[in-house]
Amino acid sequence: MPQSAVQTTRAQGALAGLLALIAGYVDAYALLNYDVYAAFMSGNTTEAGLRTGLGRLSDAAHHALPIPIFVLGVFLGTLLLHGRLRHALRWVCALVAALLIASLVGATRSLLPNWFSIACLGLAMGAMNTTIRRIGAQAVSLGYVTGDLYNIGGHLALALRRVPVPDSQGTWDTHFRRATLLAGVWMAFLCGAIFAGAATPRFGATALVPPILVLLVVAASYRDTARPA
């Protein structure tokens, strides 16, 4: 595999880790402040179903709210990435940053209802999940880390059985290496949640400032050499 392609894969992995950290941070922030997930729609689905079964329909609607909004965010992010804009990923990161800013403003203005901030967070995480879908040939998810953990287990089992990687990009591209990449994304998501848990009780809505700044830096400096799949 050409060295430039190896470097591109590494850059994709680094960007995926950074964005997964932000996803974990925002997901934990939303859970602490609004009792919903911004990135983990499986959790919202379970909560909505559970509360419906318990007859608590108002709570069920609260947990169901982010689900269609998240889908809309994926729709918008995909439109941008497959449009004619140069440096499309920069635009997606800028959109996510703008939505987080809107959520922050909504949280600090008493006239705006909580659902406004929840909607902004769900849109933001839906859009951000479109940015990095692969690291090299390996599918990856920034917010749905259950899928990443599933793939880690599969790769480790196939490595033990010495099963060849069917779409290997070179001798370096092994099951163990792919499991390591996915573990890094999962760890980044976990660290983001830890940071949010430490920052949100102290700083409230302004705890969103760090991820906003990071996204703006990415939007201003991202290079197409690490173009996501």
Question: Using CA atoms, how far apart are residues 119 and 88, in angstroms rounded to an integer?
Answer: 23
Q: Which two tokens stand for residue 164?
A: 């060849």
pLDDT of residue 93: 96
- pLDDT tens digits along 140-187: 999 889 999 999 999 999 999 999 898 888 788 899 999 999 999 999
Q: What is the pLDDT of residue 227?
A: 43
Residues 39-69: tens digit of each pLDDT: 999 999 999 999 999 999 999 999 999 999 9
Q: What is the pLDDT of residue 5?
A: 60
139 forms beta bridges with: 134
Are the CB atoms for 69 and 122 separated by under 8 Å?
Answer: yes
Q: What is the mean pLDDT of the chain?
A: 91
Task: Give the pLDDT band of residue 222 (cuts 50, 70, 90).
Answer: confident
The pTM (predicted TM-score) of the whole model is 0.92
Rounded to an integer, the average pLDDT of 67-95 is: 94
> What pLDDT does 172 receive?
82
Region 113-125 average pLDDT: 96
pLDDT tens digits, 5-44:
677 778 889 999 999 999 999 999 999 999 999 999 999 9
* Contact assessment for residue 163 and residue 178, using Cβ atoms and an 8 Å cutoff: no
